[in-house]
Amino acid sequence: METTTNTATTINFMYWLNNYNSFTMQETFNEIYGESLGSHLYNKWINNCHDVGGTRGLIKLFYELSKGNQELLINYVTENYKS
C-alpha cells in the first residue's frame, strides 16, 4: 500500500504531537506565529496543560486555532520534524 502525502503528514504530525519538546514550545510558537501571538498561544497551551495535560492540551489548542493558524502549525511540523 502506497502512503500518500496527506497520510505521511498526518502520521508525522501525530508523532510530533506525542514527542514535542515542552521546554522549547514558546520558542516554537514564536517562530511560527511571531512573538505576540506566539506568547499568547503559549500561555493558552500552558493553561490547557494544567486543565487536561500536555498532549491533550496541545490537541485542545489546535482545535481553538483558526484554519490558517492550524495550517501554519502543520506546515512547521512537516518542515521541521521527522518521525
- For the chain, the domains span 24-80
**In the chain, how many H helices and how many E strands?**
5, 0
- pLDDT at res. 1: 58
Q: How far is CA 77 from the centre of its chain?
A: 7
- pLDDT at res. 2: 63
Q: What residue type is assigned to position 17 of the chain?
A: L
Q: Which residues contact 38 (CB under 8 A, 6 or more apart)?
A: 26, 29, 30, 31, 32
- pLDDT at res. 53: 87
In the chain (83 residues long), the average pLDDT of successive 10-residue segments reads 81 92 93 97 93 92 96 95 87
- pLDDT at res. 14: 92
- pLDDT at res. 4: 80
Q: Which residue has the cell 492540551?
A: 57
